[in-house]
């Protein structure tokens, strides 16, 4: 792996992978055996879709004594994210390709997440949902199944906060207008992802997602999980549902030991960030 002198010197360039899950795209940097190279300025530079590579989330792979890899997630605005479901599946795929096994474990801020290969798809257990107001977190105590906000959305934590609106027509919803308003609502001290869900039947939901720090994305794994949990809590769907996102379909199954999400992963390309790019980004 080209990683400068492996001690944080970026003069030698920095290798990366670009992957996506249903169009939810990621830059993945393997920093195992090296220092974590990331900073808010570098994350913003890489996330620039004209001057960098662009991503919905960036993932740094780190050494871990118990998991196959430790993971830190970044948003394109230079903030960090506690969880990213589709990226977790992509990371699981990388690790399974390395080892030849059909399973892998990653450690995120969410905890230990198990991944496994199911045919051409990858499943990840995103852990148990956070349903208490303090854990999501919310700024004040209230019932999370139906929040005291216009149109009564639900709140669910999946290692990151989610505000789930149930709408009559997802296609007609003005996500680009409503999403940013609720992302920064005072009820969510860490900001929030915002979901707009149309229940088609007890096994199917049409979903559009405004992601915190990224805008509307083609798919959001943690958002799909949060929506499935919120819908089942309200009695609108079964525990296992198909989530139809802009980029394709994910299967989400809320079981006793966690919320399982299954879908495809795609390796787009591998490359190297040049020394000039890294130096300019570090000074910005």
Catalytically active residues are 84, 220
Q: Quick one: tokens of 127?
A: 């852990």
Name residue 75's beta-bridge partners. Answer: 57
Pick from 87, 76, 7: which is nearest to 46 by CA?
Answer: 76
DSSP class per residue in 40-104? HHHHHHHH-TTTS---SEEEEEE--SSSSEEEEEEETTS-EES--HHHHHHHHHHHHHHH--SEE
Residue 26 parent element (H or E):
strand 24-30
Q: Would you state the torsion angle of the CA atoms of residues 232, 233, 234, 238, taken in this order, to the nearest 10 degrees? A: 20
Question: In sequence order, what are the residues at sequence separation of 6 or more whose Cβ sits closer than 8 angstroms to the Cβ of residue 42?
Answer: 278, 281, 282
CA angle 221, 22, 152 (to 5 degrees): 40
- Number of Cβ within a 10 Å radius of residue 219: 27
Alpha carbons 13 and 279: distance in angstroms, whole number = 10
């Amino acid at each position: 792996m080209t990683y400068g002198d492996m001690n944080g010197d970026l003069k030698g360039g920095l290798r990366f992978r670009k992957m996506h899950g249903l169009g939810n795209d990621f830059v993945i940097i393997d920093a195992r055996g090296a220092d974590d190279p990331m900073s808010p300025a570098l994350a913003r530079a890489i996330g620039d879709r004209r001057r960098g590579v662009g991503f919905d989330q960036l993932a740094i792979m780190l050494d871990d004594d118990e998991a196959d890899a430790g993971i830190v997630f970044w948003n394109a605005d230079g903030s960090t994210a506690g969880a990213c479901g589709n990226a977790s599946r992509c990371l699981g795929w990388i690790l399974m390709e390395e080892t030849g096994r059909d399973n892998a474990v990653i450690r995120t801020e969410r905890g230990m997440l198990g991944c496994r290969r199911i045919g051409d798809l990858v499943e990840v257990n995103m852990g148990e949902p956070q349903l208490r107001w303090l854990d999501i977190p919310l700024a004040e105590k209230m019932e999370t199944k139906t929040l005291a906000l216009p149109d009564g959305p639900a709140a669910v934590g999946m290692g990151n906060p989610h505000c789930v609106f149930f709408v009559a027509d997802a296609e007609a919803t003005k996500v680009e207008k409503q999403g940013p308003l609720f992302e920064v609502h005072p009820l969510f001290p860490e900001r929030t992802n915002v979901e707009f869900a149309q229940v088609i039947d007890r096994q199917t939901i049409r979903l559009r997602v405004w992601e915190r720090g990224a805008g509307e994305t083609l798919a959001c794994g943690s958002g799909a999980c949060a929506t499935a949990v919120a819908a089942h809590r309200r009695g609108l769907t079964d525990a296992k549902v198909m989530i139809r996102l802009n980029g394709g379909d994910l299967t989400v199954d809320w079981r006793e030991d966690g919320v399982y999400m299954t879908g495809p992963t795609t390796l787009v390309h591998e490359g190297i960030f040049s020394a000039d790019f890294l130096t300019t980004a570090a000074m910005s």
